[in-house]
Amino acid sequence: MTDYMNPSPELHARVALEKYGFRNTHSLGQNFLLDEGLLERLLELCGVRDTDNVLEIGPGAGVMTALMSLRCRRVLAVEVDRGLERVLGDVLAGRENARVVFADAMKADVAALTGEAFGDEPWRVVANLPYYITADIVLRLVTARRLPDSVAVMVQKEAAERIMSHHGQKQWCALAATVQSYGQPRVLADVPPDAFDPPPHVQSQFIVIERHPEPVVTPRDPQIYLRLINAAFAMRRKTLANNLKAAFGLDNDDARVVLRAAGVDERVRGEALTLQELCRVADGLVAYRREEGTGNREQE
């Protein structure tokens, strides 16, 4: 796809990086994607359309940002490194539907940023994430006050395998349970190390998490449900009853009552439960605390 103002975002980015003497910072996980052909393919795979509002986290040199500005309605890019300000200014010059905010995505109010940029309209996430924040940022996105319609991100292959694991599998974890409560993850493409600048020492996969059209679980208290998920996987060798005691300040009898009410074996471990079973336990906690007045005993 050709932009009359900028025939090659890739070339423009490479020139700007050299012009301003930018050097990647390892501690920020800066492994840039500059290959226009690859990025066009990834955008095709995740289905970015001209009606979409897109949040990009970690635009790097701005090649994908520039390409998305040709495909979608608006792009909001959040970048933590001010050292990229002039590079991004050059690469995105004249692209009025692309905006860069310099902020830490792990600390910024994503709902406020997207609300300001996109109003009440739906939005999506497309990003080449720094791998050291993968789990944290994905969790922030799929539990946000204002949920995206989908999250398409580049992640380390091992992280993708964890996200797509299922109950009963060794890799089933709090990250997978939380993500799959929000949507259905799938791999769109394998991306080799030499596609990045500089190449990482790991294999990568571009994945998308499509938000469920209808909720797969409807917990009575979503915050308790999320806390229950974290508690269930906190100490994998211990039973769920023991983890409930530690996380919610229950004694043995309290924990047994909650699990029995949820129809769950008292000896079960958290990683053996489905999303629906986890939701029943969370709802059991809510009901028991209300009926027995145990809320004041909870350990925050």
Distance in angstroms (rounded) separating the CA atoms of residues 133 and 135:
6
- Segment holding 231, helix H or strand E: helix 222-232
The confidence band for 12, taking pLDDT boundaries of 50, 70 and 90, is: very high
Domain co-membership, 186 together with 267: no
By percentage, how much of the chain surpasses pLDDT 90? Answer: 82
In 10 A of CB 2, how many CB atoms? 8
CATH number for the domain spanning 276: value is 1.10.8.100
- Whether residue 5 is predicted with pLDDT greater than 60 in this model: the reply is no
Percent of the chain, pLDDT > 70?
Answer: 94
Rounded to an integer, the average pLDDT of 274-296 is 81
In a domain, 3, yes or no: no
Question: CA dist 106 to 132, 133, 141, 274, Å?
Answer: 11, 8, 10, 29
pLDDT at 300 over 80: no
> How many structural domains compose the chain?
2
Per-residue DSSP letter, 99: E
Using CA atoms, how far residue 78 sits from 33, 56, 87, 124, in Å, is 16, 6, 14, 14
pTM of the full structure = 0.91
Identify whether 1 is part of a domain.
no
Beta 124-128 vs 53-57: how paired, if at all? parallel
What is the reported pLDDT for 137? 96
Do 234 and 204 lie in one domain? The reply is no
Question: Does residue 14 sit in the same domain as residue 71?
Answer: yes
Residues 125-174: tens digit of each pLDDT: 999 999 999 999 999 999 999 999 999 999 999 999 999 999 888 899 99
Mean pLDDT value across residues 215-220: 95
Q: How confident is the model at residue 2 (pLDDT cuts 50, 70, 90)?
A: very low
Q: Are residues 251 and 285 located together in one domain of the fold?
A: yes
By DSSP bridging, strand 183-191 and strand 204-211 are antiparallel
Cα separation of the two ends of the chain:
53
Burial 214-234 (b: 16+ CB within 10 A, else e): eeebebeeeebbbbbbbbbbe
pLDDT at 298: 46
Domain boundary among 166, 187, 211: 211
Give the helix/strand (H/E) hosting 102: strand 98-102
3-state secondary structure of 154: strand
| Residue that terminates a domain, selected from 211, 245, 271 | 211
**CATH code at position 151:** 3.40.50.150
Final residue belonging to a domain, choices 149, 182, 211: 211
Instruction: Over range 88-100, report the average pLDDT.
Output: 97
